[in-house]
Amino acid sequence: MASLHSGDEGFFADLVHVHSVQVRRHCRRYAADVDEERDLVQATWVLVWENRRGYTGRGSFAVWLHRLSRTVCTRAVRQRVDAVKIDETVFESVSADGQDAIEQQNLEDDRLDLIMSLPKRRRAVVLARLCAGLSTEETAAMLHCRPGTVKATLHKAIKSLVAATRKVTD
């Protein structure tokens, strides 16, 4: 790892090549779209470069890399959740008959596409609680609501996702 610590760009390029699939796969779980996925991957590698001297070699490089990637992705989710609380249109997701609507989509999309199709408030709760691993209390603090509201919103989001998944399998 001396090559990494010294800033050997060739060695770093080899690391990027070897571990790029792992990083991309991890970032894909958190990203809202392909462009954000690319941004998260790039931000992860920038963080690796900036913190290269912090890797001591005591543990697996892949585990260290995963932790840095999770840090980048968690920050992105938190920023997205913060944006939701500012966005006044978050409450406009209720349809005329009072039921929250899931956007029409190709039913063969994967689970992430289903999550991203949820109304903003539900999507923010799912991303914060299930993807970023935040507690109910942390999520409530970020969205400026009560923990009970987070729990109810998560329940409704999961119910919507299950219903959408059933449509896919039917």
Q: Which CATH number describes the domain made up of 87-169?
A: 1.10.10.10
Predicted pLDDT of residue 109: 39
What integer pLDDT is reported at residue 90 of this predicted model? 38
Q: Over pLDDT 70: what percentage of the chain? A: 78
For residue 100, which phi and psi values (nearest 5 degrees)?
A: -70, 135
Distance CA 71, CA 76 (A): 9
| 57 three-class SS | coil
User: What is the mean predicted confidence (pLDDT) over 151-155?
Assistant: 93
Which comes out higher in pLDDT, residue 66 or 101?
Answer: 66
From-to residues of CATH 1.10.10.10 in the chain: 87-169
Taking 70 as the threshold, does the pLDDT of residue 103 lie above it? no
Segment 87-114 mean pLDDT: 43
Instruction: Report the C-alpha gap between 112 and 8 in whole angstroms.
Output: 37
- Look up the CATH number of domain 2-74: 1.10.1740.10
Using CA atoms, how far apart are residues 82 and 99, in angstroms rounded to an integer? 25
Higher-confidence residue of 159 and 113: namely: 159
Residues of the chain with CATH 1.10.1740.10: 2-74
- Whether 158 shows a pLDDT value over 90: the answer reads no
